[in-house]
Structure 1
Amino acid sequence: MESGANSLYRCSNCRNPLALVEDLLSKNFIAKSGKAYMFQHAMNVVLGPKYDKQLITGRYSIADIFCSKCGEELGWKYVQAYDMKNRFKEGKFILEEIKMFQKY
């Protein structure tokens, strides 16, 4: 096992593992509760139905994501970006900072 492989972000409500530190792409996102992070992958999450939403950077098709253990709403997954310059976000996960903590 590589060093840092145990570095995880966990659900602040039930401690369920949500994302690996090495999958963190950006800490420069804003969500309902404030600061949020973008991840390449997320684990132990359940996707809600997809819907279109106007966000700060444009219009997207997104799906809310919830903790698979406690059901806490954690953020969203970008399903589709309608603006070409935001296509890099497709398939990525946004997790709200307040809903998770980092555990080494």
Structure 2
Amino acid sequence: MESGGNPLYRCSNCRNPLALVEDLLSKNFIAKSGKAYMFRHAMNVVLGPKYDTQMITGRYTVADVFCSKCNERLGWKYVQSYDMKNRYKEGTFILEELKMFQQY
């Protein structure tokens, strides 16, 4: 799926389109590799199995997110938050900054 001319983020490993700039919600997340971005939607990704994990902001059920073309681990998807104040994260994707680049 191409973006139809809209700016987007691509996998830094294989250039596969991952997310539209218009779906970017926040750049204020931290992942193992450093900075990470929250997106409303992601494309051309595959989800791993769901699992529970404890993060700085609370306990979540998440699924790792992989590039559908090269299988690079890109980040995770929030499936469920066990804390009411973090429910806004449910269904969103966190993609690591070092695993993608922005193309206009």
Assess same fold via TM > 0.5: yes
Deviation at 1:5, TM superposition (A): 4.6
SS of 2:71's equivalent? coil
What is the correspondence of 1:20-31 to structure 2 with a 5 Å cutoff?
Answer: 20-31=20-31
Written as runs of structure 1 = structure 2, the 5 A alignment for 1:58-73 is 58-73=58-73
Name the TM-score, length of structure 2 as normaliser. 0.95
Aligned to 1:16: 16
Q: Partners of 2:48 and 2:5 in 1: how far apart? A: 28
Taking structure 1 as the reference length, what is the TM-score of the superposition?
0.95
Whole-Å separation in 1 of the counterparts to 2:88 and 2:5 = 25
CA RMSD of superposed structures (Å):
1.0
Cα distance change of structure 1 residues 74 and 85 upon mapping to structure 2, 3 Å threshold: same
| Map of 1:97 onto structure 2 | 97
Q: Distance in 1 between matches of 2:24 and 2:6?
A: 14
How many pairs were matched up? Answer: 101
Report Cα offsets for 1:16-67 as digits up to 9, x if no partner. 0000000000000000100000000000000000000001100000000000
Aligned-residue identity in percent: 85
